[in-house]
Structure 1
């Protein structure tokens, strides 16, 4: 069971920051690979997908990596860096492989209608996007417990 005294739901902006970090990491890996396979002509083409290697490097491998991170660690590197994690909404445990796969493909559902399913995170009480609702997950982070300031007189 998710202990809401220890954790809070991660909001929209911290999740955006984690996604930006993850995207930059993927670019650092994908761009050199794409350049090695296709050369600089890759950037001049009008085609959306240049070939099988492009599809594999740009779509398949990132999907496998994200899903594997969710299964193994409950978080991608960006989420780990920002101390957030994806958990099962009912148990608070790491998502199952089925939830992780469903959550990944749920991103497409969340994105297609003008990104409304992603923006939903800002409006939802549990900060769930549509992909979270579809997969039965939430993104949490440990609450920052602040100590009250005590003022003492010094002699």
Structure 2
């Protein structure tokens, strides 16, 4: 296991906030065009687009989302392989299920893990075999 230059809690939170703001406006305008209102109640097509953003963009963009790219961090696998669909499904879907089953306690534990562990890995990172790093993709393959 080789975890180099791990990203800590505050930078990861900042990237998540950037993604959330971006998606709020982009998906809000898509929702406005489709449903005639900026936000919708219940699940809608825009929720599916949000899921696709978090699942697929890191696969095609070397572990980056727009928020992560803005703060120069990315998702990487601990074994050095490229982040794939299985990895992102484990990280987002299975990790999310764990957080729901624990009624949010897992989220709090994960925040402490990212803040206090030397490798800065959270519960969903352990599930998927990932970590968040400052290293660019080129350094991962050397």
- Considering only aligned residues, what root-mean-square deviation do their CA atoms show, in Å? 2.4
Specify every segment of 5 or more residues in structure 2 that has no aligned partner in the other structure, as ranges.
137-142
Q: Which residue among 83, 95, 112 is the counterpart of 2:72? A: 83
Tell me the distance in 1 between the aligned counterparts of 2:85 and 2:96.
16
Counterpart in the other structure of 1:64: 52
Structure 1 segments of 4+ aligned residues over 6 angstroms from their partners: none
Tell me the distance in 2 between the aligned counterparts of 1:135 and 1:118.
14
Counterpart in the other structure of 1:116: 108
**Do residues 33 (structure 1) and 30 (structure 2) align?**
yes
Aligned pairs for 1:119-138 (under 5 A) are: 119=111, 120-138=113-131
**Secondary structure class of the residue paired with 1:83:** coil
Aligned pairs for 1:138-149 (under 5 A) are: 138-142=131-135
Specify every segment of 5 or more residues in structure 1 that has no aligned partner in the other structure, as ranges.
144-155
Counterpart in the other structure of 1:21: 18
Higher helix proportion (structure 1 or 2): 2
Counterpart in the other structure of 2:92: 104
Tell me the distance in 2 between the aligned counterparts of 1:117 and 1:39.
39
> Deviation at 1:117?
4.3
Aligned residues: 130
